[in-house]
Structure 1
Amino acid sequence: MEYLPVEVIGNILSCLGAARDVVVASATCRKWREAWRNHLHSLSFNSNDWPVYHDLTTGRLEILITQTIFQTTGLQCLSILMDDVDEFSAAPVIAWLMYTKETLRQLHYNVRTTPNINVLEKCGRQKLEVLALAHNSITGVEPSYLKFPCLKSLSMTYVSISALDLSLLLTICPKIEFLALINLDIAMSDAQTPMELSSPSLKDIYAEAISLDKFILEVDSLEKLHMKDCTFEVFELIGKGTLRLLKIDDVSVIHLDIGENTENLEVVDVSNFTIMWAKFHHMISRSSKLRRLRLWGVVFDDEDEVVDLETISVCFPLLSHLSLCYDLRDGAIQYGLQSTFQLENVAVLELGWTVISDLFSHWVAGLLERCPNLRKLVIYGVVSEAKTPEECQLLANFTSSAVKLMRRYMHVEVQFEYE
């Protein structure tokens, strides 16, 4: 170890991440202390990593963090995550941000202070590339003064911000590629005014637990859109057809519009969602490059609506991964097998039920017949703890049918996942 260059030791210490571990390791010898001072580029203070953080008084904790940070000279990644810790004084926190801002590339910040600190003002106009904020309030974004010329990734969790400030924030990040909005408290100037976000550089958007009347995204380079646990009356995506992945999980939306330019879609993953299938299929029907399609826990607006899987096989000839959750209503299977279509390229098939019936086995067998090049089958099922004799018999019947299918399709790997 004594022959290691001090720069390599600095990289080793940076890989430890947690500040306590770095301090302990740096006590090894004088050379390691030098590496800590001059070549450490990553440091993390996380209240969940070390219980002692919760035992210290706020003042003592502020001193501890200050002394640790001020002994470094070139931090590039700083993470200060203080959940369930009393509010800090603003002065030492400002000192941490000002001391490191010249070299910092990544900042992960979850610190409650009195009074509130405008983190954007302290970090703007520098080389910051990644910014993750939590439990903070952002007010008064001023585009003429505030700039983030290098920022590529922005994540905000439990942040209070107005719709206008959020929109302005994107305008001062000309290189931003990833945006995560999680449990935001968004103040609207007018209930009738839509939330409008625009960026020519954004490629990946993740939205979770966001509730808005109208949300309009104008993003010409967007490749990935993932929405989870959101509520919208209207969601509209305006772009140039670059979208490759669309994931919708437990979202309530009355009017959904992702535009007509969906030729580049490769993955569509929809779960726990109510849709009008005809309209949704029309939106994605031009996606001839689609390779993964997942429709799980999907409820149709029209109770009589049935998905014709032959149409799916025609519209998506490159489909290689298909996931469907079986539903039986009034004798009609939600995903019908009306014809002898073939899903030539499907190699992975995921099938599941919410309420099992004897028809599920026939449905599985029918799909297997239509996937001549299948390599893997995964069966997902929900089994209640207090099973009735009828449920036990249905599960036994399905197990017998599954054994027969496995003997018939020896080349297919079969897995079972039960909840």
Structure 2
Amino acid sequence: MEHLPVEVIGNILSRLKAARDVVIASATCKKWREAWRNHLHTLSFNSNDWSVYHDLTTSRLEILITQTIFQTTSLQCLSILMDEVDEFSAAPVIAWLMYTRDTLRQLHYNVRTTPIVNIIEKCSRQKLEVLALAYNSVTGVEPSYEKFPCLKSLSLSYVSISAWDLSLLLTACPKLQNLALINPDIAMSDAQTTMELNSPSLKDIYVEAVSLDKFILEADSIENLHLKDCTLELFELIGKGSLRVLQIDDVSVLHLDIGDNTENLQIVDVSSFTIMWPKFYNMISKSSNLKRLRLWGVVFDDEDGVVDLETVSSCFPQLSHLSLSYDLKDVCGLQGSSHLENVVVLELGWTIISELFSDWVAGFLERCPNLKKLVIYGVVSEAKSHEECRVLASFTSSIVRLMRKYLHVEVQFDYE
């Protein structure tokens, strides 16, 4: 070990991440202490890593973090994640940020401060590439002054910010590629009913627990759009057809528009969602390169909302992974004779078991001649009635008989 270059030792210590482990390891010898001072680039203070953090007073914890950080000279990644700390004093937090700002590339911070520290202002105009904030407030963004020329990833969790400041913040990040908004407290002005975000460089956006009237996203390079647990009157994506992944999970939206250019869509994953099938079909029908389609717990809010295999087969010839749940209206029509030649993974499930489910499964197996894997998902109540037990037993017997015809197919069961 004594022959290792000090830079390599610095990399070893950085892989430990947790501050307690790094401090203990750096006490090995003088060379390791030198690596700690001059070549450590990753340091994490996480309340889940060491139970003693919970026993320290806030002032003692501030001193401990200050002493540890100030012994380093080249930190690139700093994480301070203290879930049970009420508030840090502003002075030490500002000292940490000012001390590391010249070398810092990543900052993960989730502790409130009193008085409030403008972390956006303290970290701007530097080489920061990743910024993840939680339980903080962002106010008065000045994009002409508070610029992030290198920032590629921004995550705001439980952050209080106005729609206008959020828009300005994206303007200050010309290279931003990944954006996550998790349960933010977004303030709208009296004259504002629509939140409009514009980022020509954005490729991936994750939005969770957002409630707004209108949300318009203009992103010419967007590839991945994921909406979860959101309530929106309108969501509109304005882009140039670069979208590859669309995920919608437990979202309430009256009007959804992802644009007409969906030729590049490869994955559509929709669950716990209500929409009119003609509108949804029109959005994705041009996605001839679609490889994965998942419609799980989807309710099509119209009388003609029938997902039929003829439509799926003709519109998505490259489809290789298909997932459907039995509570789809009319249980996905099996009319016609089209086959899903490229489907190799099939996932089928139910919310309420039915006598017809095994027939539905059999129909899909006939239409997927090159299938390699079948996964059956089901919900089984703890207090099963006699009828539920009878239907489940009948289904199990039917599947056993059915799979004797398809010995080349791997079968898995996943019951909740």
TM normalised by structure 2 equals: 0.99
Structure 1 partner of 2:351: 354
The 1-side partners of 2:381 and 2:291 are apart by 33
Q: How does 1:373-412 map to 2 (within 5 A)?
A: 373-412=370-409
CA distances 1:356-386 after superposition (whole Å, capped 9, x unpaired):
1110000000000000000000000011111
Q: Does 1:97 align with 2:90?
A: no
Name the amino acid aligned to 1:375. Answer: K
Structure 2 partner of 1:189: 189
Name the amino acid aligned to 1:358. Answer: E
CA distances 1:148-184 after superposition (whole Å, capped 9, x unpaired):
0000000000000000000000001000000000000
Q: How does 1:110-149 map to 2 (within 5 A)?
A: 110-149=110-149
Count of aligned pairs between the two proteins: 416
Contact 2:297 2:328 in 1 (8 A): no
Contact 1:221 1:242 in 2 (8 A): yes
The 2-side partners of 1:109 and 1:383 are apart by 41
Contact 2:299 2:328 in 1 (8 A): no
What's the secondary structure of 2:121's corresponding residue? helix
Q: Does 1:368 align with 2:350?
A: no
Moved over 3 A (4+): none
Structure 2 partner of 1:269: 269
Name the amino acid aligned to 2:333. Answer: G
Q: CA deviation at 1:315?
A: 0.2
Structure 2 partner of 1:177: 177
Distance 1:191 1:308, change over 3 A: farther
Distance 1:34 1:328, change over 3 A: closer
What's the secondary structure of 1:22's corresponding residue? helix
The 2-side partners of 1:328 and 1:248 are apart by 16
Distance 1:328 1:262, change over 3 A: closer
Structure 2 partner of 1:417: 414
The 2-side partners of 1:303 and 1:37 are apart by 69
Q: CA deviation at 1:411?
A: 0.4
What's the secondary structure of 1:281's corresponding residue? helix
CA distances 1:278-301 after superposition (whole Å, capped 9, x unpaired):
110011000000000000000111
Q: CA deviation at 1:2?
A: 1.2
What's the secondary structure of 1:307's corresponding residue? coil
Distance 1:338 1:191, change over 3 A: farther
The 1-side partners of 2:341 and 2:144 are apart by 56
CA distances 1:263-311 after superposition (whole Å, capped 9, x unpaired):
0000000000001011100110000000000000001111452212211
The 2-side partners of 1:291 and 1:380 are apart by 21
Q: How does 1:301-340 map to 2 (within 5 A)?
A: 301-303=301-303, 305-327=305-327, 333-340=330-337
Q: CA deviation at 1:86?
A: 2.8
Cα-Cα RMSD: 1.0
Q: Does 1:56 align with 2:53?
A: no
Distance 1:328 1:217, change over 3 A: closer
The 1-side partners of 2:66 and 2:334 are apart by 66
Q: How does 1:121-270 map to 2 (within 5 A)?
A: 121-190=121-190, 192-270=192-270
The 1-side partners of 2:157 and 2:72 are apart by 28
Contact 1:109 1:132 in 2 (8 A): yes
Q: CA deviation at 1:327?
A: 2.1
Name the amino acid aligned to 1:147. Answer: K
Distance 1:253 1:328, change over 3 A: closer
Q: CA deviation at 1:54?
A: 1.5
The 2-side partners of 1:305 and 1:87 are apart by 52
Contact 1:137 1:159 in 2 (8 A): yes
